[in-house]
Amino acid sequence: MMYFYRMFEDKSKKRTPLSDFGEFSLIKHLTSNFKMTNRTTVKGVGDDAAVLNFAGDSVVLSTDFLIEGVHFDLSYMPLKHLGYKSVVVNLSDIYAMNAKASQITVSIAVSNRFSVEAIDELYEGIIAATKVYGVDIVGGDTTSSTSGLTISITAIGHLNGKDLVERNGAKVNDLLVISGDIGGAYLGLQVLQREKEVFKVNPNLQPDLDKYSYVIQRQLKPEARKDIIQILKDLNVKPTSMIDVSDGLSSEIIHLCTQSNVGCELYEDKIPLDPVVISTCEEFNLDSTTIALSGGEDYELLMTIRQVDFEKIKGNPNLTVIGYIADEKIGINLITRGHEKIALKAQGWNSLQS
């Protein structure tokens, strides 16, 4: 299990200032190990622009920022984990379109607090993710920052146009389905923030985090659900709408329903929760349903499917039916374990809130 860091790198190791390299030497250093593996990549790093060829497929793109102090805290987020996560959160958007991810670009703004070795560690995580998910790094940028670290990754994917799944296709009587389980990432963050405060009081006290390993991993090293896209293909199921759960289940359900002009009934007792999530909620005196609805950063896939496809998915352990799509007049509701109907509100992550 990880330990808390006084800073974001080991001071006992060699530390090369970024100024020793300069921008172009640093880019050459960071990109020297990039390998192109996708047939759609014609030209990667090394020219004014990348060259891609998708042979008639539709192309999908998604861009995301991760900003130090807003999206991550380097006192408990190892740089290698951060690099890995920065790729995963972007690829998740590609899979949410039912597409295959094939390329990424990586741009960073970094202050002189960081050494070349620290940036190497960040890129180790980025490269590890590209190997796991089979994507090529085909470009990006590096620049200086007056404060901390900012990462921007653009993910590129492709698909046959008939396979595209958007947020606006949900129909009345469709089933609401989610992959995996939710709530773990938020609880992992709560554990890490609590232990950070303990560490600040007594830096010699290292936390025992073994029992929280599942939820901490969900926060520090999430995985995008590339496997779900293949599972659905194998089952011959095409969702009518889909979105990844990055901002909380309630927010994502509202996105799907609003864009599809439908209502929804979500059943509290059907929401999939890992036992560690339940026990950690009890320890923190938190309501597990509230955490599942509002936590965010789970990167599971939320989708709607036709009722005729239920028989195809009902035995699959990766997919859980949690509700159904209703007429817009019904509203967007949670049906509690006590059979009470409560209107859902979007209370998940809002990057523009203070």
pLDDT digit string, tens, across residues 127-149: 999 999 999 999 888 888 888 89
Higher-pLDDT residue of 258, 1:
258
The residues spanned by each domain of the chain are 18-163, 175-343
pLDDT digit string, tens, across residues 49-80: 667 788 889 999 998 999 998 899 999 999 99
Which tokens sit at 48?
A: 């004014």
Domain 18-163 sits in CATH 1.20.1050.10? no
* Mean pLDDT of the region 263-284: 97
Average pLDDT of every residue of the chain:
89
In this prediction, residue 199 carries a pLDDT of 85
Q: Does this model's pTM top 0.85?
A: yes
Q: CA 98, CA 217: separation in Å to the nearest integer?
A: 25
- Check for a shared fold between 18-163 and 175-343: no
* Contact (Cβ atoms closer than 8 angstroms) between residue 178 and residue 76: no
In this prediction, residue 44 carries a pLDDT of 64
Choose the CATH number for 175-343 among 1.10.357.10, 3.40.1190.20, 3.90.650.10, 3.40.50.20: 3.90.650.10
The torsion of the CA quartet 189, 200, 68, 216, rounded to 10 degrees, works out to: -20
Whether 268 has a pLDDT exceeding 80, the answer reads: yes
pLDDT digit string, tens, across residues 155-206: 999 999 899 999 999 999 999 999 999 999 999 999 999 999 988 888 887 7
Whether 353 has a pLDDT exceeding 60, the answer reads: no
pLDDT band at residue 10 using 50, 70 and 90 as cut-offs: low
Whether 101 has a pLDDT exceeding 80, the answer reads: yes
According to DSSP, the residues that pair with 72 across neighbouring strands are 68
Q: CA 327, CA 266: separation in Å to the nearest integer?
A: 13
